[in-house]
Amino acid sequence: MFGEDSTSNFILPLIRISFILEDYKENKRELDKELERFVTLLNQLLPHYHTLLKKKDLSPDELQRLGDIEHYLLGVNAKILDIKGKLEQDLFGQSLHTYYKLKDSAKKGDVKAKVKLEKMRDGFIEALNAGDIINFN
């Protein structure tokens, strides 16, 4: 009934999707573990930093440590902001891409696309009103 080519054309994408999902699950576990470790280490460093900040008379060694920690934390903050920016940009870009695909489908008469488009519009309006999205117009 099915030729060898049609079966492999059907099965190979399913296998690729399966690998992608497994990679996603593994990557998610690894990212979660790394983020938890990062937070734990940061929670160990911050009290020491705060103690040095509150201390009135710092020895030269403590002053050096305070400066080193502060410099390090500024670098960490910059990296976090960079990651946050990339995530927001990617998520926003993907949302717009999905929105315009749905809009095209809705124009062609796809009822499900119209419903999804309305839900997205409502979500965007809600985010705008909450101040989660900035309208530059």
pLDDT tens-digit profile of 32-74? 999 999 999 999 999 999 999 999 999 999 999 999 999 999 9
Among candidates 98, 114, 115, 116, which has minimal Cα distance to 106? 114
Q: Tell me: pLDDT of 11 over 70.
A: no
How far is residue 115's CA from residue 81's CA, in Å, rounded to a whole number? 35
pLDDT of residue 16: 54
Torsion of Cα atoms, 79 then 82 then 87 then 90, to 10°: -150
More confident residue, 94 or 136: 94
Over residues 18-29, the mean pLDDT reads: 71
The predicted pLDDT at position 47 comes to 96
- Rounded Cα distance between 100 and 117, Å, is 9
Q: What is the mean pLDDT of residues 115-128?
A: 81
Residue 122 confidence class, pLDDT cut points 50, 70, 90: confident
pLDDT top residue among 83 and 16: 83
Name the residue with tokens 């699950």: 25
When pLDDT is cut at 50, 70 and 90, the band that residue 18 belongs to is: low
Q: What percentage of the chain exceeds 90 in pLDDT? A: 38
Whether pLDDT at 128 is above 80: no
